[in-house]
Amino acid sequence: MQIPSLMIAGTHSGVGKTLVTMGLTAALKEKGNSVQVFKVGPDYIDPSHHRTISGRPCFNLDSWMLDRPTLQKIFNKGISGADVGLIEGVMGLYDGFSGKSDEGSSAEIAKLFGVPILLVLDAGALARSAAAIVQGFTQFDPELKFAGVLLNNVGGEKHAAILKEAIESATRVPVIGFIPRDKILEIPERHLGLVPAQERNFQKSVEIMKNFISRYCDVEGILERIRQSNDSLVGAGPCACPQGGHGGPPLRSTDHPVRIAYAWDEAFHFYYQDNLDFLEELGAEMVPFSPIHDHRLPDDIHALYFGGGFPEVYAQALQANISMKESILTHFKQEIPIYAECGGLMYLSEGITDLEGNFYRMAGIIPGKIEMTDRLQDFGYQQGNLLKDSWAGKGDQTFRAHEFHYSTWSGEGISPAHRVQGKNGAPDRTEGYLNSHILASYLHLHFLAVPERARCLIETAKKCKMKNTHGSRSQF
C-alpha cells in the first residue's frame, strides 16, 4: 500500500518550511488524518515541534550520515499506520554537503522516495520575478516532481493574485495558496534555532498556524495532488536492508536486559528517535530522567545517556540540583558506562560560563570548563574515528557525524576520544573525552550509521550489570 506523502522544501533557509509543515500537519489532523512527519538532515528542534503536533515520533532522514537502505527502513517504519506523510526539507531544496551534487539535500531525499515537492517561496519583495525563481527551481533537476508552490510573507490578496498569475503563466506549477505577512506567525528563535515546543505557549501558536493554512491554502487540493503524484512512492512494506544498512540484525539482550537512563527535560532533548529505538531493539529498557527536576537517578540502571540540548540556558537550575549531581557522581565512581553528546558533555564538565561571565558548577566528572561564545565554533558534518580501541568501539572504523555548538571546552586535548578529519586542507584535530567507561563529545552520531557505538554501550552495560549481580561491586 502506498501512503501519500509530500516534501515541503524551500528556496532557502528561513523561508517558512517549518511554519508550513506545522500548520499543514495540524490542518490535516483536524480533517481526521493521521500524519507522519519526517525531517531532512540532522536537526533536533524542528522534530520536537512536529512530534508535539502530530502525536507521532518524528524521524530524521539524513542522506549524508545514512545509506539508502537504512533511510528506506526508517521511512517505512515511520509511515506505517499513517494516512499521509510530510517531509520537511533542510535549507534550500538543492543545498547539501557539496556544491557539486545533491548529496545530503532535500532533493536527494525527494528522488529517493519519489515524493512530490511543495516549494515554499518567500515572496515578500517579489512580483513577476517569483516566476523566474520557480521556473529555475522546477527545471534545475528534471527528475523531481512538484505538487505546487506556496507563497509566504505575501502583502495581501492583490499581491497574491499578481504572484499567482506570474508563476502559473510561466510554469506548469500551480500556486496552491499563500500565507500573508503577519508578525503573529513568527516563531521565536535563539542561538541553536527555534525555541523548542515545551518552552512556550505552543498550542496557541499551532492553532494560529493551522487557521492561516486552512484559510489561505487549499488543503483538500494539496491532498489530492499528493495522491496523484505519488505513483512511484514505495509504501510501508518490508525493506530488505543489506548488512551495511542497519548494521545487521538486532542483537536483542533478552537474557540480560539492561536499563539505560537518558536525560530528558527542558535542558536535554536532542536525540534522534532512531537512536532510542535502536537501543531498545538491542535489549535496553530506556528510562527517562530529569537533571533539572529529579533528585536522583532512577533505580537499577546500568548505563547513562546524555543527549544534547540547552544546558547553558538552564545552567542555574542544573547547578542548584546538587542531589542529582551527587547521584551521577556516585554512579560515575561505580564505573557505570556514560555516553554524552554536546549538551551532555557540557553538563558533565566542571562548569559553564555564560556570555555575561557568570559561572555555574556542573557535574564535574570530566575535566575542563565550558565557555559560551557569541558565534558558532566547529559546525557541520564531520568524519572521524576513535583514537584507539576502547569500550566504545574499534579505533580504525570511520564514522560520520554532525557538530553544532556555541561554546568551547577547556578540557580539549585531555584524553581525547576522536580524531576528526580536517576540511578544506585544514589539519585533523582531536575532540571529546574518553576513559575506561565515559565517552563525552561535541559530535552527534546517528546509531544506525554507527551501530557499533550502540552495541558497545549495551555490551558494556551488560557487563556492569553482571558485576553488580555477582556482588563484585556495591548495588547502585
- Active site (catalytic) residues: 342
Beta bridge partners of 380: 403
Pairing of strands 418-420, 379-386: antiparallel
In sign, the C-alpha dihedral spanning 476, 251, 290, 318 is: positive
Residue 192's nearest CA partner among 366, 342, 351, 36 is 342
Tell me how far apart the alpha carbons of residues 91 and 435 are, in angstroms, rounded to a whole number.
37
**Residue with C-alpha cell 574499534?**
394
State the cell numbers at 191: 542561538
Q: Mind spelling out the 3-state secondary structure of the chain?
A: CCCCEEEEEECCCCCCHHHHHHHHHHHHHHCCCCEEEEEECCCCHHHHHHHHHHCCCCEEECCCCCCHHHHHHHHHHHHCCCCEEEEEEEEECCCCCCCCCCCCCHHHHHHHHCCCEEEEEECCCCCCHHHHHHHHHHHHCCCCCEEEEEEEEECCHHHHHHHHHHHHHHCCCCEEEEEECCHHHCCCEECCEECCHHHCCHHHHHHHHHHHHHHHECHHHHHHHHHHHCCCCCCCCCCCCCHHHHCCCCCCCCCCCEEEEEECCCCEEECCHHHHHHHHHCCEEEEEECCCCCCCCCCCCCEEEECEECCCCCHHHHHHCHHHHHHHHHHHHCCCCEEEECHHHHHHCCEEECCCCCEEECCCCCCCCEEECCCCCCEEEEEEEECCCECCECCCCCEEEEEECCEEECCCCCCCCEEECCCCCCCCEEECEECCCEEEECCECCCCCCHHHHHHHHHHHHHHHHHHHCCCCCCC
Contact 217, 150 (CB under 8 A): yes
Residue whose C-alpha is closest to residue 308's, from 193, 212, 463:
193
Nine-digit cell string for 18:
517549518
Are 377 and 405 in contact by the 8 Å Cβ rule? The answer is yes
